[in-house]
Structure 1
């Protein structure tokens, strides 16, 4: 089947890509394994959107550089804390949006309000700004004060994930023509087929070497890798471990992603802790390492990578113990828990390489210990209905395949959205956890670290909110004419301005 897909892709991709390449040999062709269903900047927290939009079309006030563990200026040149609740940001002068309008404090206020609009359903707002309210005050044309409730001691870092949009963008619907301040502007989007950007001649910063990019979508990672090998594409940022076979073009990198299954613990039988424990004990993680997952992955214990402050090093990976899993299910059943209820496994096609094979393997393991598990694999648009509140009703108890990125170094980018009662991805409700998240978010220093450690222990050991799988390793294939090496950020963004030519 892969051979027929490959042959088809090579014929089609030649038509889709060659015109862009023929125009300029300093443009690049990017092949992505997930098909974009939106190009809305407030959805850039989703990796498929972020790889195209983030810092290419729309920029943020600040930018976190993981390799340096440093927060750097972007649209804001400096910032300072006015009081416990308020930060002041000095804005870069002379910046214009792609439509020629001037960037000013009103655009920041608009972007914050837009991301916080629950009816719009922005992934960035729901994922990173849940439980927080903001007020803004323009001091002058290049100065804005932002007040957060509760107070956020890391607000400048938090704003490194919010792309700024012009006040002229629609306030209550997604845009299909993103306008930003970035080094590239959108030329065309052929939905489901390709997307083209070109260099912004009026960009405020240094002009990048890459003059433009054509993105095409191929859902088979093997096809994407083969296109780079054949010279039909320049880079495939996300390929499968079994396709990373060429040491001259293929790069592995720790990508700050954590893979898991989210347990809908609000519904029986998952509202019984014994059943949630049985889920974890039923899975043979060791058998997946070096087969459908890369040899370099590490077994996960919580939703943030070990480099994050407040990571709880006392938590241990779940062992594989199918006999214990069967015993727990039997014990729960004897107490009247409906363990025979059909549970739905909800997977996302190409959320990471081999995603379908992973879910099929886990389904087999769950069936083996006595779970009544069915599996559905969806594209990102349909999967998102089960991933983000409000969940579809009526719903069956479900396990949702997830992958979460936290390259920023603080659990504030994870905890509320994943574990708070009101978190947009959360399927749990534990008042003690909510309280810990609220207190940790407002704390600093050693107190912040200790509160996050306590929160992760309660979520992952006492309560068991998820089925943690692995801290991931990513693979990219980079064509021989490019000067580019993937980093920890590559899974969530692909800055064209960071690409050069040999």
Structure 2
């Protein structure tokens, strides 16, 4: 048990079941003993097929899964997750205490930990990181770069009235107190995000980590973010050839168990078929986001498969900066036009669940009685007619989607686009497709207004409602293009409620508020699947992708 004055327990998280590769063969905690057949004399090079390059080597300036997969090997935060769940657990902080007013958090830090460049990890280093985020300005403080800090901490030194963070105070080397200006019930859980991993103060300064340029639509990253990431994790950065591969190697002075793998190669293979062929040829040891059609065939051929529990949301978003989408009847019509069951059966993985709201059922505040817009093409046509659209004057929208990428919530964006655009066309909506490569796509959707309806989604980072609803709808966003002060205020108030029962009801009501407002269509909760060479005895699958490769167990 953690020495906390309050500890939230979210029903259902402990019941998440990991698939065919049982966690029992893995270390129960990061830094614990790893055992398994063949623990000696194994090939210590592990090649993983990545669907894309990381967007940045600085996780503070990132928001995507491929970046975070790499980051979790290099960086560690004060807080991690309990194996197999989305719940917080000690990592660089061994314990923490919360003040009665929920505005002060004191963390007891792990001792004798160093960053990869030899810089000591201590309370001062923690404060350098927190103060770095708080003092961002300009592009660094934008949603396009500082995405998670922007979403969760709401403000900076330049905007103290909206900021959640107040100060960081070292209490000697091994204890640190973080003070908040406003209650944030999910604060501890949020610290498990790779975006809040601890980074070497020495390297941040030497390689000018915060010198970013360009625009929100096309940012340019710092020297640090392109080639000098320094954390405390089990692996250190070696080299990166964008578009080809990224290599990490074991950090000899790592505080925990080094595991069996001493070199990781993330090989970029953007095509799902090519990733499968690479596994079958033996050129990679495993990959994520296995296509639905490939899962059974690979299993029959002896490859090890593991499916993460669905902790995802795939959605069709409506950008209300587009005048036509400001009409509630239009948004309602588009909702009735979508056949979610057909979409799931045609192109999404086995185990995918239909979505009724913008978060999975296991998250606190999910509303079983929420308003839904079940597939009804005639109703869609009627609403479009009431909004002034018909065959002579059809509703015409740009439909944005990414290409050459697979995401846990979106294994094949082009297939999903094809199905949905056909459904919309059947009710008289004319869609103009516009596609972009993944990095450009994220910049377009989150950094500008020049997009229409679009595909995006989310893999939950930790088990807290604010990580879903708060991230999507907690403040004005370029992605959604609307200004709804009532909704923003409700979410701001909810994230500060410490009593779980009270917060559950509030979030349930907010889910209904979102459903009636119709910012988009929550489509599905896909279940991502990974495939591995038979030499992989155990893989530490996590619903929030908190998977550190030092915990992989190999047999040869």
* Structure 2 counterpart of 1:164: 198
SS in 2 for 1:313: coil
The correspondence of residues 72-471 of structure 1 with structure 2, limited to 5 A, is 72-84=89-101, 85-116=103-134, 117=136, 119-120=139-140, 121-130=145-154, 132-134=163-165, 135-161=167-193, 162-168=196-202, 169=204, 170-173=209-212, 174=222, 175-176=225-226, 177-244=228-295, 245-247=297-299, 248-249=302-303, 250-315=305-370, 317-333=372-388, 340-347=395-402, 349-351=405-407, 352-389=410-447, 391-392=448-449, 395=450, 398-423=452-477, 425-444=479-498, 445-460=500-515, 462-471=516-525
SS in 1 for 2:386: helix
* Structure 1 counterpart of 2:16: none
Offset, 1:104: 2.1
CA contact 1:419–1:427 (8 Å) conserved in 2: no
Q: Give RMSD over aligned pairs.
A: 2.3
* Structure 1 counterpart of 2:530: 476
Distance 1:128 1:239, change over 3 A: farther
Deviation string, structure 1 residues 158-204 (Cα, Å, up to 9, x no partner): 21112111223123434222100000001100111100000000101
* Structure 2 counterpart of 1:11: none
Moved more, 306-315 or 149-158: 149-158
SS in 2 for 1:442: coil
C-alpha distance in structure 2 between counterparts of 1:334 and 1:378, whole Å? 29
Moved more, 23-32 or 432-441: 23-32
C-alpha distance in structure 2 between counterparts of 1:106 and 1:31, whole Å? 37
C-alpha distance in structure 1 between counterparts of 2:338 and 2:344, whole Å? 12
* 2:549 aligned with 1:496: yes
C-alpha distance in structure 2 between counterparts of 1:236 and 1:361, whole Å? 26
C-alpha distance in structure 1 between counterparts of 2:369 and 2:83, whole Å? 25
SS in 1 for 2:471: helix
* Structure 2 counterpart of 1:50: 68
Offset, 1:481: 0.7
CA contact 2:308–2:527 (8 Å) conserved in 1: yes
* Structure 2 counterpart of 1:41: 59
Moved more, 160-169 or 130-139: 130-139
CA contact 1:418–1:424 (8 Å) conserved in 2: no
Moved more, 349-358 or 195-204: 349-358
Deviation string, structure 1 residues 306-347 (Cα, Å, up to 9, x no partner): 111111111265321111111111101179xx9634333233
TM-score between the two structures when normalised by the length of structure 2: 0.80
Deviation string, structure 1 residues 24-68 (Cα, Å, up to 9, x no partner): 8211000011233422221454111011112x1010101122635
Moved more, 361-370 or 72-81: 361-370
Offset, 1:497: 1.5
Deviation string, structure 1 residues 214-268 (Cα, Å, up to 9, x no partner): 1111111111112112211101122211111222323333241110012112431
C-alpha distance in structure 2 between counterparts of 1:251 and 1:449, whole Å? 32
SS in 2 for 1:342: strand
When the two structures are aligned, how many residues end up with a matched partner? 471
